[in-house]
Structures are given as structure tokens and as C-alpha cells.
Structure 1
Amino acid sequence: MMMFVVILSLCFLDISECYENLSRRPSTVLSLSSRFQTQNATLANDGVRDTIYSKCSHTAENQSIAWLQVDLGKRYSISKVTMYYRDDGSEGWRPYRLRQFSLYVSNTSANMSATPRTRCYTDNTTEQDLPKNIIEMPCKQTARYVIVETTYDAHDDQSTGAMLEICEIEVYGCKTGKYGDNCTSCEGCKTCDINNGSCGCSDIFCGIDCEHSCNKTCENQICNRTTGVKERLKIVIIGGSISAVIVLIAVTVLIIKCINKRSLPSGQDTGYVEECIRSSFHCQYKFILSRP
């Protein structure tokens, strides 16, 4: 009983420790856009949070873009991402290269030429400042891939090109269909908010299990997050249906009016009805007196 209370207290003190670190799952695979010497991507999920150079992954120099990708193997409900960036603890090296990076999630790999993504975080540090080397980034999304990416070339760095030196990246969350500190099952849906359990998908994903990308399935139109149906197309269909019903009602009313003219007073010519029918929707409201 005492052990349970201690664990529960730790959850309230640090929520991240109550979610699973998905980066450390055996099925998780890390990759880099390029590699500098022997600084492999696997250094970023070995469980070591040291931020000295030898413990960090490192992309190559002279690149226009640099990224590190965490492939979780399948979609998971993500709560947040914590990143430990290189900091040698000396004035001789400072984290210039980390400025203006972005954190994305996606259901397609960064290797793809066109990757629909949701951006969770962007660093806005200017050249006069330096970002923190340990950053916790909220990212309430359901996705397979977590991507840290930059195109920033630090002018105050002797090396050129965009570079990343990530020592450890921790992706906290649950399996899809789970939420909360203890990864409780969602109620009434397959995918729900990682924190409160409310049903729904993230901004660019749709479908019962958030398996479709709205950018692809819905062609950049507003997407129904449950069905994946194009909302604008649905509006057009509904509008067209309403218009058709209105026209049908109008035609019916005109026909009824025309037919009612069959019961004209004896002083009027029944040729009126024939004229109405021949002129389709436009009944000519004129009465022709019958000849004696």
C-alpha cells in the first residue's frame, strides 16, 4: 500500500515519468538525415542523458537541412517530447546550432518527398540569444513519427550548414486508445486526447483510428476528424440537395395551381390549363372568357 502511494505521488510530481518513454521501446528506430563521424542516431535513445559531445548523435556539416527522426513503429498517443541537446559545459562551445529548430509529428517518414506534418514546437531564439539545451515540448498528437528538424546555419559557428547534436530524445505517451497518467482506455472511441480522454484526432489526421492524413485524403480542405470526409464537399452536397428540394416544391406548387384551374367558373375557357402545361414552369395567369 505504501509503495502505491509513493508511485502515485511521483506521478503528480512529474507526469512525464508516468507515461511510457516510447523512444526506449524495442521497436523504436532512430535515424539521422546525415551522420558526422561515428555519432550515430542510436546515441539519442540509449537512455543516457549526458550532454557531452561523445554521448550525442550528430548530423554532418555542410548540409542544407538536418533532422533526427524517431520511428515508433506504429501510431501512438503522444503527450510530450523532452530533448537533451549537446552542452559540453565550457565557454569554448555553445549551442548556436539549436536555434530555430522545429518539432513535428507525422504518419509518414521524413525520407518522403512530401510529408504531411503537424508542428508541435518551434524555437524562436534569435542570434543574440541561445536556447536551453534541455527542452520539454508539449505535443498532444497521435502519430508514428516524431521529427526534429532545422535549416538554420549559425553565422557565429565556424562550421557551416544546418546541424543537430541531440544527446537524448524522450517521447512520452501511451498506445492509441489510451490516455492519462495510467494509460486508461478511451471511452466511446478508438483515439482520444492523451490528457483528458476526449474523443478526436489531431489537426491533420482523420478516421476512426486517426489513420488518414487530411492533407492527403481531403486535399487541403477542412476534414471531418472522425470520417475523413471533405467538409467543403459535404457542404456543397447539402446545399445542392436543398436547392433541388426547393425547385421540386416550386414545380409541384405550380402544377397544383395549374390543375386547380380545371375547376374554373363556367364563364372561363379550360384552354388555360393546356397553356399552363405547355409553358412548363411559367403559368400565364390570364382568364379567357368562353364565347357564347
Structure 2
Amino acid sequence: MTEQANTSMSSTAHNWTSDLAIDGNVGPDPDVCHCCSGTQNSLTSWWMVDMGKRFPVNQITVYSRRNDKDYQQLAGFQLFFSNDTMTFKLIGNNARRNSDTKHELTFPSIVTRYIRIQRPGVLTLCEVRVYEGECQIGHFGDECSQSCHCADDRPCDAVTGHCQSPICKTGWIGLACNKQCPQDTFGDKCTEKCFCAEGTCTNNHGICRGKCRSGYTGSHCNEVDIMKTQNQTVHIGSEHSATKIIGGAVGGSAAVIVVAVAVSIIIFRSRKRNSKDSKHDYATPEITAAQTGTEYDTLDNLNDNQGQSNNSYENERVSAF
């Protein structure tokens, strides 16, 4: 029994207080040793111990007073376990062994904090000894019914399930290493991803039970399917190419139209400019008085001028000879 253990009873007879049942003295005669706990006669009498914290328990031995067959102050008692003071679980008597003053009860490990012994009438017991049990490796909790998954198959705490190893087995997480990896994750600390078409992959090795989701391949369904990705890229690229061709054709047509309009404008302006220049080239020049004199030449004047020119020529020729 632990140092933190506290005892109580439904009533007290002859100053046989509840703490005498865990003083280490097995009796067997309370009238002589004053080493037993006893209650008054009641419809239901009980004795209880609070061990201070939860323990896995697999055996309890209860010592009665001498000649209890005559007194019948412990016969047919019942044993209850609880982790609070409100709800108690009755433990069966299938593994009970009785010999004189000794009643030995064994059972699979049960994690408990409170132990209660009760019977109708007077209850007298001289000693209660509780034996701490151990859960099998990989188990903890009430009746060791919960599982822990510690790395290297190390044991976990029988009460909390906390592993002695610093990490959990592959595929498990939590303080007690009793939670499988969430959906679509696996591996150490559940850091790997899988993409199964149906359900999820195994939490340890990440194996999908069926096909992979579209776009994924591999034994874990976490590798990108390159072939499908390329096919999708080519298909999308073809659509883009068609769009570019159509856009190029439309753009080319628009460019041709713009060039044609520009050429037309240039030709039109050139012709207009040439037309203006032609009018100036063929216009009749104005005759001014400065160019012709004040009078027009007559035929007589022309003849006189011609005669003068001939005479001058003759004179120049005679002089030369």
C-alpha cells in the first residue's frame, strides 16, 4: 500500500478504526492485538482505501479475524474498484482462494484508485494487501484493455499509456501512441502523404488497397503520373496553338487592311500633289512691258533690222581681207 493511502469505513466498532487494516499486522485476533478494522451491524457495511493515484492491480489478499467461520464477519464479502468515489465496479470472485484467515483474489490487471470491500451485517478485517500488477507490453488502462504502440516494442505506463521510448511505432501518434495516422497520411509521425482512390492507405507503410487517384501512381499513390500530366499538357497546348493560329490570322488580316489603307492614302495624296504641279508647268507666262517694249515690231521694222545686220556682216568681211 502506498504512503498516500487513506482509509474510511461506514461505521466504527470497538475503536477498530479503518487504518488498522493497512498497518502491516495480519492479526488474527482483534481482541488481543488491536490490529483489525471493524464496523457496527448494518444493512450494508463497507471499508474503503484511496491509494492516492491509479495503479494496475492484479491481486488482493484480505485477512479475517481468527475463527471467522464462527463470527461470520467477513464471509461472502464483495470487492469493488473505482477511479472516483461515485462509480464502483464489482470484481467477480471466480479466482478466490480461502484458507483459514486468508482470502486471496486474483484477476487480470485492473487500473484503479479506490478499492472497496463490503458485506451486509458486521464487517471485520484485519489486513488488506494490494499487489500492483503489470499490463502486457503494448497494453494499458482499465483491465489493460487499451493498446499503446511504442517504438522498439517498449512498454508504456500502465495508467496513462505514455511510452518509455521517445517516439511511436511507424504509423502511430499521440502521447500513448494509440492514434493511427489521419486520412491520407502514413509513416513516422504521419508525415508522408498518399492519394488512394478509395479509402486511405495503411498507416504504417502507406499501401493503398485499390487504385490511385487520378494523376497519381506508385506503391504509395504519391507520385505524380507523368504520362497523364503530359497528355493533359499537350491537349491544353493544342488548344492554345489553335487559339494562336486563329489570333494570328485575324491579326494578319487586320495588318493587311491597315497597310492597304495607308498605301491608298499615300497614292491619293501623291496624285493630288502632281496635279497641282502640272497646272503650274503648262500655264501661259504673262508678258510684261519690260520684256517687249512699249510697241510691237512691224514687218517693216524687221526688214530694216535685217538689212542693217547684213551690211554690218559685209563690212566685217571686207575688213578681214
* Structure whose residues are more often helix by fraction: 2
Q: Same fold (TM over 0.5)?
A: no
| TM score, norm. by length of structure 1 | 0.44
RCO higher in structure (CA 8 A, sep ≥6)? 1
| TM score, norm. by length of structure 2 | 0.41
Larger Cα Rg: Structure 1 or Structure 2?
2
